[in-house]
């Protein structure tokens, strides 16, 4: 195979891989804001939660299931059911969805957060500590 043909084949392979990645892009679906208050630091049966992913999930259970809402909380259309909230927790337990400082702020305080929901991921950031 000539060098020119080898470069053409390599270019086609690279282009097809880039096209595949574009087809699986992580499209933003929307966002909501929530206050992670003391009530979100405790499971519905009363025991204390010890990680940020659990607390964000509990905030959504408090909103949708138990109607225990903080004044800063907003509605969302993605985490209405227990199964959807379990998926939220799994996404948050993955590496890149919350920084270490965001996790600490949630676990150690009552921050106002923004949750950005994408087709394949969720990202949490602190709006007010």
Q: How far apart are CA 36 and CA 59, in angstroms?
A: 7
Q: Is the pLDDT confidence value at 1 over 80? A: no
Helical axes 100-108 vs 52-64, angle rounded to 10°: 60
Q: Can you give the pTM of this predicted structure?
A: 0.81
The domain locations on the chain are: 26-128
Q: How far apart are CA 120 and CA 73, in angstroms?
A: 23
Summarize pLDDT for 60-103 with one digit per residue, the tens: 999 999 999 999 999 999 999 999 999 999 999 986 689 999 99
Q: How far apart are CA 68 and CA 102, in angstroms?
A: 23
How high is the pLDDT of residue 24?
Answer: 72
Q: How far apart are CA 2 and CA 109, in angstroms?
A: 64
Q: How far apart are CA 95 and CA 19, in angstroms?
A: 25
Contact 53, 93 (CB under 8 A): yes
Segments in 38-119 forming alpha helices (H): 52-64, 82-93, 100-108
How high is the pLDDT of residue 55?
Answer: 98
Q: Is the pLDDT confidence value at 21 over 70? A: no
């Amino acid at each position: 195979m000539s060098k020119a043909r080898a470069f053409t084949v390599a270019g086609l392979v690279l282009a097809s891989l880039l096209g595949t990645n574009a087809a699986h892009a992580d499209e933003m679906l929307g966002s909501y804001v929530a206050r992670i208050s003391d009530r979100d630091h405790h499971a519905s049966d009363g025991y204390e939660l010890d990680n940020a992913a659990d607390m964000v999930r509990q905030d959504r259970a408090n909103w949708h299931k138990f109607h225990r809402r903080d004044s800063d909380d907003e509605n969302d259309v993605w985490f209405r059911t227990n199964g959807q909230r379990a998926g939220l927790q799994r996404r948050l337990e993955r590496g890149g969805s919350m920084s270490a400082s965001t996790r600490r702020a949630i676990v150690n305080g009552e921050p106002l957060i923004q949750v950005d929901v994408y087709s394949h991921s969720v990202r949490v950031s602190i709006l007010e500590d």
